Amino acid sequence: MTGQPAGSKHRLRSGFTVQVPRCNPTRQGIAKMEGWLLETMRAEAKARGDEYVPGLFVSAKPGKLPPADVDMLNDFVFDGAEIVA
């Protein structure tokens, strides 16, 4: 769902460190992962001073995101991120 291994830790461009949660391939699991991506994107955007990207997802509902939106969230959150031990 995130394209990153479950349990891996990443240092994002803002300096935040996040651990990718496990995702069950069920509707509830996918909705939970999409919710995590949305929360992480909002925190990352706030830290970067980015108001544009969060504005694109104001009405986003976890579990109902099209694949293109999930791809954009992944790109925003993980672009420039480093895997940390």
**Global pTM?**
0.86
In a domain, 72, yes or no: yes
In a domain, 73, yes or no: yes
In a domain, 69, yes or no: yes
- Does the pLDDT at position 71 exceed 70? yes
Domain ranges, residue 14: 9-84
Give the 3-state secondary structure of residue 33: helix
| 8-56 per-position pLDDT tens digit | 789 999 998 998 888 888 999 999 999 999 999 999 999 999 999 999 9
Q: What is the pLDDT of residue 25?
A: 86
In a domain, 2, yes or no: no
User: 38-49: b or e for each residue (b if 16 or more CB lie within 10 Å)?
Assistant: bebbebbbeeee
Q: What is the pLDDT of residue 72?
A: 94
In a domain, 48, yes or no: yes
Domain count, the chain: 1
In a domain, 46, yes or no: yes
